[in-house]
């Protein structure tokens, strides 16, 4: 839900006792060359399709996209523009709520958006905010994982409105050396207790603790730590979450959805609650900075705690008042090209649902058990649900109070 300036990007290492596995994909030059050749062939095919496509001048050659920051490859948009002649206006956001506010107000001007499936796209579909997809314009749907498509039907009957894009988890980002300096060499790193145990938080405060400013993720993490249902919304659960954060609030440096990634990379944080990809990207940035200065790279790891973690999925949709729906369909279909989505996964290091893309992904990323967790880890993941409106309002009020320290 990636969420976040959000760059959900990077790898995951569910085993906190061994270094994270994602390496710099750009270092594999021969593999990169092969992918470039495939993308060049794809671009030629797209040019031919655009020349004879169904858009046929019925729409202006414009597309307005609203996406999470750094959630495509560096050349994704330029390649689409070159292949189709469609000019893309590309805006970014850092919170699902920002997107939802624009959609509910109407007249956003956007043609393609990327909400998180649960609970955001779920309630937005229910509210009639998205146009039905014309699947005749989306032949690349054939590449989608049928299990993931089926899994979305509980929020989007018949997969009528959204296409899955990327998925990941919310867990802990750890600077291993600094955490062990504070807590001791044998400190367990595979638990939400690193954050929620006040004894740990007080000792880690000096090296920097950052927590997501996202009530869904923050509530889910606390409830998992407490051994409760992360989708619960009773007054008792809300009170329990408030008490959990009250005990550690003095030790939390910031609540944010973007800065924590940079803080972890540059050494201003040693423990963060964050999105899986963001932690991996922080690790890569830190490693590149260390290499440039001749220093040893810090051991930054992403951990899915043993108590469990929230799993999120981002999807692609067309707002019901989109002015360029034909171009929107062309862009969505383009993103489902195996070569295109593989290149995006290589950049952001989040798992995609395109089965045909798997063999095209950088092998180091495709084999990273954090990007694509093994089954025993997946069993600990929980999908968020859309809570009743009154419960959601209570959560939001409680979260505002938690952040303010009241």
- Tell me, what's the pLDDT at 43? 52
- Tell me, what's the pLDDT at 105? 96
How crowded is the C-beta side of 132, counted as CA atoms within 13 Å? 6
The percent helix, strand, coil of the chain (3-state, each to 5) is 50, 15, 35
User: Rounded distance, CA 63 to CA 80, Å?
Assistant: 11
| pTM score | 0.79
361: pLDDT strictly greater than 60: yes
Residue-wise pLDDT tens digits, 301-338: 999 999 999 999 999 999 999 999 999 999 999 999 99
Residue-wise pLDDT tens digits, 1-52: 544 333 333 333 333 433 333 333 334 444 444 445 455 545 544 544 444 4
Q: What average pLDDT does the segment 92-103 reach?
A: 93
Q: What average pLDDT does the segment 245-265 reach?
A: 95
| Cross-sheet strand order for the sheet of 112-113 | 87-93, 62-68, 112-113
Cβ within 8 Å of residue 371, ≥6 positions away: 11, 12, 22, 276, 280, 345, 349, 350, 351, 365
Which of the residue ranges 15-19, 121-125, 190-194, 274-278 would you say has the lowest mean pLDDT? 15-19
- Tell me, what's the pLDDT at 24? 38
331 SS3 class: helix
Average pLDDT along the chain: 87
Strands 163-175, 271-275: pairing kind: antiparallel
Quote the tokens at residue 272.
């963060």
Cβ within 8 Å of residue 12, ≥6 positions away: 20, 22, 168, 169, 171, 276, 279, 280, 302, 304, 368, 369, 370, 371, 373
Which of the residue ranges 23-27, 136-140, 291-295, 312-316 would you say has the lowest mean pLDDT? 23-27
Choose among 331, 351, 333: nearest CA to 67.
Answer: 331
Q: What is the share, in percent, of the chain residues with pLDDT greater than 90?
A: 72
CATH classification code of 25-167+313-373 = 3.40.190.10
* b/e code 225-261 from CB counts within 10 Å (16+ = b): bbebebbbbeeebbebbbebbeebbebbbbbbbbbbb
Residue-wise pLDDT tens digits, 77-94: 999 999 999 999 999 998
User: Which residue spans of the chain are classified as CATH 3.40.190.10?
Assistant: 25-167+313-373, 168-311+382-404
Q: What average pLDDT does the segment 204-229 reach?
A: 96
Q: Which of the two residues, 7 and 284, has the higher pLDDT score?
A: 284
Q: Which of the two residues, 369 and 68, has the higher pLDDT score?
A: 68
How many H-runs (helices) and E-runs (strands) does the chain carry? 17, 10
Query: Which of 1-5, 94-98, 259-263, 381-385 holds the top average pLDDT?
Result: 259-263
The pLDDT confidence band at residue 58, using thresholds 50, 70 and 90, is low
User: Rounded distance, CA 204 to CA 272, Å?
Assistant: 11
CATH topology of domain 168-311+382-404: D-Maltodextrin-Binding Protein; domain 2 (3.40.190)
- For the chain, the residue count is 406
């Amino acid at each position: 839900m990636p969420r976040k300036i959000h760059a959900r990007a990077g790898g995951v290492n569910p085993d906190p006792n061994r270094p994270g596995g994602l390496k710099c994909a750009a270092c594999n030059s021969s593999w990169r060359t092969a992918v470039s050749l495939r993308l060049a062939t794809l671009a030629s095919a797209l040019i031919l399709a655009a020349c004879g496509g169904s858009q046929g001048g019925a729409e202006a050659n414009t597309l307005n996209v609203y996406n999470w920051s750094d959630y495509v490859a560096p050349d994704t948009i330029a390649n689409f523009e070159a292949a189709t002649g469609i000019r893309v206006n590309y805006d970014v956001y850092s919170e699902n709520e920002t997107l939802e506010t624009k959609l509910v107000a109407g007249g956003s001007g956007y043609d393609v958006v990327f909400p998180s499936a649960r609970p955001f796209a779920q309630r937005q579909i229910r509210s009639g905010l998205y146009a039905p997809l014309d699947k005749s314009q989306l032949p690349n749907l054939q590449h989608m994982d049928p299990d993931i498509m089926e899994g979305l039907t509980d929020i989007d009957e018949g997969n009528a409105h959204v296409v899955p894009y990327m998925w990941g988890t919310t867990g802990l980002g750890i600077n291993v050396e600094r955490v062990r300096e504070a807590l001791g060499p044998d400190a367990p790193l595979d638990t939400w207790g690193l954050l929620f145990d006040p004894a740990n938080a007080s000792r880690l405060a000096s090296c920097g603790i950052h927590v997501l400013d996202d009530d869904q993720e923050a509530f889910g993490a606390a409830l998992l730590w407490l051994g409760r249902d992360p989708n619960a919304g009773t007054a008792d659960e809300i009170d329990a979450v408030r008490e959990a954060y009250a005990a550690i609030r003095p030790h939390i440096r910031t609540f944010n959805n973007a800065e924590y990634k940079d803080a972890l990379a540059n050494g201003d944080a040693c423990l963060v609650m964050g999105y899986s990809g963001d932690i991996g990207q922080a690790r890569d940035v830190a490693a590149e900075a260390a290499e440039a200065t001749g220093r040893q790279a810090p051991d930054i790891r992403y951990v899915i705690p043993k108590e469990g973690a929230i799993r999120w999925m981002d999807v692609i949709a067309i707002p019901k008042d989109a002015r360029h729906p034909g171009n929107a369909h062309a862009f969505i279909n383009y993103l489902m090209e195996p070569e295109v989505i593989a290149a995006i996964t290589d950049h952001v290091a989040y798992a995609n649902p395109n089965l045909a893309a798997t063999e095209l992904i950088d092998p180091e990323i495709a084999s990273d058990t954090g990007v694509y967790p093994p089954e025993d880890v997946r069993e600990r993941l929980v999908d968020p649900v859309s809570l009743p409106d009154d419960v959601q309002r209570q959560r939001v009020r409680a979260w505002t109070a938690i952040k303010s320290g009241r």
